[in-house]
Every structure is written in C-alpha cells, then in structure tokens.
Structure 1
C-alpha cells in the first residue's frame, strides 16, 4: 500500500538532486565572487553588443550623417578595451578566489567598473534617453538582490550624481547632450535614434527580466523547500508533530467521519542506542517508518511524534480496521532485518495504542486516549496492541 507521507522514508535520487539544486545552485546562494563573475560576464556581453552596433554603423555610410564618426570610432576602441578589461577581471575573480583581498575588494571594484562603463555610454547616448533610464532602473534593482547594499550603493550614489550633473550641464548647454548622435531635431522624430535606443534597451531589459525570473523562481523554490522542511522530520522524512497536529485539527474542523489514531512506541529503544550506537538507532527508526508506510492506505497519514514514537492517522476507519492495521504493523516490525557491526541481528518490538474519534472528539483528547492505551500496552508486557476503552461509570 502507499501512504500519504511527505516523501519516502529514504529520500529518492530525484529528491536529493532537487534539494541540491535548490540549496546549492540558487543564484542568491552563490558566493559574492561568483556573483561578480556573473555580473562581469553580462558586462562583457554589453560591450559586445555596443561594439556590434558601432561596427554596423561604421559599415553603413547611409547612417554616418546621424552620428559623430570620430567619436564613434574612438568609442568602438574603448568598448573593445572594456571587453578585455571585463574578461581580465573575470580571470582575477576566478584564479584568486581563495585570496582574502580578492573576496574583500573585488566586489567593489567589479561593481564600480560595471557602473562606470554604463554611465559613460549612458552619457554618450543621452542621460535622459530610454536606454539610460531602463539601465538605471533595472540594474540596481537586480544588484540589490544579488549583492549587499553597501556594495551597490557605493557605486549607485556616484553614478546618480554623475548622471544628474550631466543632465544639468546639458540642459544649460555646458555639455553636448547625446554627443554620439548628431541630433538637429527633436530626437523622437529621428528614426535612427529611436531604433538605436531600442537596440540598447532590448538586451538590457531582456537580461534583467531573465535575471528577475530566475531569482524569483529560485526564491519561490527555496521558500517551498523551507516550508517542506518545517513540516517533516529530517531523519525519516515523514510528517513531524506540528504537521500531524495540523492534520488532526483539520479533521476536527471539517467534522470528518470517524477516524483512528494509533501511537507506536519502540520497546527498549534506548538499549539499541546504548549497545549499538545512535547510527543503528537511526537506522531502526528509518526501517520502522518504511514498515508503517507499507501497511497503511494512501489516504492515511504517517508521522514521527517523538524520539522513538510514531503516529498513524487512519481516516474513515473502524476500531476493527485500526486493530488489524496495528497488528500487521506490529508483526512486521518484529521481522525487521537489522544487523550490528558484527553482522549479528538486532531484534526489537513496538507497542501500539489506539483511540477512535466519536462525535467530533477534540484531537487533544484523542491523543490523550491513544497515549493511555499505549501505556496499557507497555504495562501488559510490551509488543502489544491495545484499543482505548472508556471506563464505564460504577454502579451506584
């Protein structure tokens, strides 16, 4: 039979891989240097895109009347130089990642270099152009997700002052606005200028959207993993006590039909830990979990309720059905094959206490009744199944 547990008692290969990806491969969990390498790689792509645009303009004489050719050639060389600078910084981050100075200073240097290159080209195409504005809004937002605030603001504040100063001086004619273009008319009437703005905007916008999507998706996965880990027992990977209580509370709230609660406690479990070590005790708990999971229905719930105590919640079950399930589980536990380091068998048993809900019995009371039945099973010599029976009032 299948059981309704969070995952199998022993995590599957797929679960291990998923957990590794969520915990280790989340971009936000990368080291600061790895994030720097990602940012420098994206910066290299930006220089490649700018170089491509300038090369196309230089190879298209029809467009020369719209641009400052001398400045364009100069900036093409600067873009190629910037590309090699970014590649070199990637190499420094990679090959000197274990050096303390690299971890301490390279994030500031890399972010500053990245922002300076964007500000320089932002001035060339116009500080108030759509390309510059999209870059200014998008990249700091992503940066604040990836890096510590002091790293981002150490570059963002000077960049803001620079762009504001350029805009102010351009407005009063002290600086040429968008010196890369020869704008003799309102820029939005210049089709070449508009298309150029789109060429600069689209790669930056798509890059930021992809990063946002990756970060958001991984954030959601990590939140889901945290929620999962808060609901399960880390050893057996079954529901923990908190999740079981929530399940019972929901059954009470929905006024579900009669259901049974079975408490399972391993007999003399401390002896296994004392004589064979805690690793063998853990192995015993995992195998018991396998056995219990294999003898209940998919609709039923299995959880670890304490150290060596488990709980079964059998939905829509009668007292007879509950006793049958408990008895099958009891017998199966006695047949578990567990061996010590000398390959000698380790035998152990379990006691079972059963309580049945009646007329929307509060789950706290039901747990108390199951615990009383379990205590009776222990008192009867252990390795027993006991159904809670309410005491009949004494005759007067």
Structure 2
C-alpha cells in the first residue's frame, strides 16, 4: 500500500479538526438544529406543567388555592402544545440542510414555542418570578444561539403581550394569575411558593446548563483562535508573529545568550514550478518535521516566510548553534521526496547564524542572521554561515533566494 504523504496527512488532520472542533460547537449549528434544541426545551417545560396539573388535580387539599376548571383546561392546552412542539422537531431535523426551509421554518417553530410560554406566563402571572426568570433566561439564550432578526421578531410581540396583560390586570380588567385563587400574601403561602419554585427550577436548570455549555465552547473557541493566530497552518510551527513575541520576551527577560538561526530552502521556486505546489507544500511539511525532531524542547522553531524558517536556540553559544545548524542541514539534504513520475526531488537549505548580545535588539539580531544567510547563498548554498563584522562591508549582491 502506498504510504500517505505528510501533506495529505496535514490536510486530513485539518478536516478532522474542523469537524470536531468547529462543526460540533453548538454556536456553529445550523438554525434548524438549534430550533430542535429549543423545541426540546419547550417540551420539557410543558411536561413539567402537565405533572403539576395532574398532581394538583389528584390532591384535593390544594384545590382551595387554584381554579380547578383552569387547571383541567391547562391539562388539555399543555398536552396540545407538547404534541405540536414534538411534531415540529421532525421537519426541523428532516430539512436541516434545506436553505429555503431554514429561512422560514424557524420563525414558525420558535413562534409556537414563544406563544405557548406567553400563555403559561399569563396563567401564573406575567410579573411572577416564573415569568420574569423564563423571560430573561430564554431571551439571553436565544440571542446567543439565533440571529437577532429571529429573536427580536419573537421578543417584541411577546413583550407587548405581557405588557398589555400586566396593564389589564393592574386595572382589574383581566384576572391576574387566573390559575391561582390566592388573593393576597402570595409570598406567605406555601403552596404558591412551592409552585413558583417548581416552575422556575427546570427553566433555570436547563438555561444554566446551556449557558455553561455555550460559555465553555466560547472559551474553547477563543483559545483555538488564539492558537491559530500563533501557528502556521501548513507546517504547524510558530508563525512570524509568535517568533517576534518570543524574541521580545527573551530580550526583556533572560540574561543568557541565545542563538538565532535563519534557514532558507534552496531553489524552492523550482520545486513549485517543476513539480507542483503540492510537492512544495510536502517539502515544507517534511522540513518542519526534521527541524522539530532535531531541536531541544526548550528551543523554538518557526516558519518565518514562504520557504524561510527560523530557530531560536536558548542558552546557546556560537559553536553549539553551528553544530545544530549542521545537523539540520545534513538532515534536510537527506529528505526523500519524489515527483509523481518517481523522480527524486533534491532538497537543501542555507543557514545563517547570529548570536545575541546585551546591546542588540531582536531586529538587529535578525538582520545579522539574515546577512549570514545571504552569505551562505552567495558561497554556493547548502552551507552554514555565522555572522561576522566583515559581512557589513560586503559588496556581494543579494542572491536569488528562490
């Protein structure tokens, strides 16, 4: 069986990461898939209502606190809403990949869900703890999960309905909390308090769980974005921005000397032009693997440009840096990459070394390593050169780094 190339492995790994890390995040679900989540939440709320209705009807000692005719009506109403919400889950699942259905079905599904909750809010009191907590929690979750146009198209009529019901109740034109017959001292009535707690608990628990999931995934995605901003996506090495931050940290924190090694792949443009960019990408990936394997854990390796890499060798002197660079140069030269026709593609690199000193800023050190690298290329490539003062006065023309 033909082995899978590192480039193919990198692409496959990227796709798997995208699926596991991005597509399975709740915030990245499609609108209809999120609708299923909210419909399931609505089903849970109506089931809890039905349990309360049946419990009250089966216990006559609580009839003095409720209007039993409304409670019986609630059994039918909550059952109907429960069946409707269950029924709506199927088209949301069936057409979750249909863009045309996805545009309109959420308004209907979430609309039924919100309407059913508004009616229940009227029955127990529009300014009761249950209604207020449900209103705030569900609106907050909705704004996180759904487009604003969907949330506000439901929020505005629901707010108007609850405001009108509150006003009519205040002016005695409409019964307030008609399911209860408790006229005063609600907070001193054990049955009312227990009922409020019972209605609040499932809504609050489910919304808190959703908040925790969404917050955890948001934090994870922020860490992923931060990681991706520091890493070169092809080679999985530090990018130029991360290397610059590393150099600034070393310059400000450590008194020990460190070596900077710049390396550039020789005639890399020819690899892309003659063998294709996929072979060029494979070359970069293979080189990055070699560099990573040959360095210490305390050292830093990054991709500094197109075909240019950088090594930061901590607590190192010039002789140690030269030895490391020579090992890397020899290992790169031994990399075996073949064209589609089976022809071996030669891979070599030129190296430039510069050693830190207290009076050198990171950019000056980079400039010295760059001059040493150009000197290595000018002397025939596939060489290691360390910076010395004579390079400053060199009139050698800038070599072609392709």
TM-score normalised by length of structure 1: 0.93
State the distance in 1 between where 2:147 and 2:163 align: 24
**CA shift in 2, pair 1:254/1:230, >3 Å:** same
The alpha-carbon deviation at position 22 of structure 1 amounts to: 2.5
Aligned runs of 1:32-181 on 2, under 5 Å? Answer: 32-181=31-180
Q: Is the 8 A contact 2:264 2:351 kept in 1?
A: yes
State the distance in 2 between where 1:10 and 1:95 align: 34
State the distance in 1 between where 2:98 and 2:285 align: 43
Deviations 1:41-96 (CA, angstroms, capped at 9, x unpaired): 11111111111111111122222222111111111111111111011111122223
> Where does structure 2 lack aligned partners over 5 or more consecutive residues?
1-7, 394-402
Cα RMSD (Å): 2.1
Deviations 1:332-372 (CA, angstroms, capped at 9, x unpaired): 11111212212332222111000001124111111111111
State the distance in 2 between where 1:14 and 1:307 align: 22
State the distance in 2 between where 1:315 and 1:96 align: 57
Q: Is the 8 A contact 2:25 2:217 kept in 1?
A: yes
The alpha-carbon deviation at position 392 of structure 1 amounts to: 9.8
| SS state at 2:350 partner | strand
Deviations 1:231-250 (CA, angstroms, capped at 9, x unpaired): 11110010011111111111
State the distance in 2 between where 1:108 and 1:374 align: 63
Deviations 1:154-205 (CA, angstroms, capped at 9, x unpaired): 1111111111111111122211111111113311121111100000001111
Deviations 1:259-286 (CA, angstroms, capped at 9, x unpaired): 1000011111111111211101111111
Structure 2 counterpart of 1:212: 211
Structure 2 counterpart of 1:251: 250
Aligned runs of 1:366-381 on 2, under 5 Å? Answer: 366-381=365-380
Q: Is the 8 A contact 1:22 1:218 kept in 2?
A: no
Q: Is the 8 A contact 1:10 1:286 kept in 2?
A: no
State the distance in 2 between where 1:304 and 1:392 align: 25
Structure 1 counterpart of 2:183: 184
| SS state at 2:353 partner | strand
| SS state at 2:332 partner | helix
Aligned residues: 386
> Where does structure 1 lack aligned partners over 5 or more consecutive residues?
1-8
Q: Is the 8 A contact 1:255 1:360 kept in 2?
A: no
Structure 2 counterpart of 1:325: 324
Q: Is the 8 A contact 2:354 2:365 kept in 1?
A: yes
Deviations 1:128-150 (CA, angstroms, capped at 9, x unpaired): 11101101111111111111222
Q: Larger relative CO (CA 8 A, sep 6+): 1 or 2? A: 1
State the distance in 2 between where 1:303 and 1:37 align: 44
State the distance in 1 between where 2:391 and 2:75 align: 95
State the distance in 1 between where 2:18 and 2:356 align: 38
Q: Is the 8 A contact 2:46 2:81 kept in 1?
A: yes
Ranges of 4+ aligned residues in structure 1 off by more than 4 Å: 9-19, 98-101
TM-score normalised by length of structure 2: 0.92
The alpha-carbon deviation at position 14 of structure 1 amounts to: 9.0
State the distance in 2 between where 1:314 and 1:20 align: 36
Structure 1 counterpart of 2:333: 334
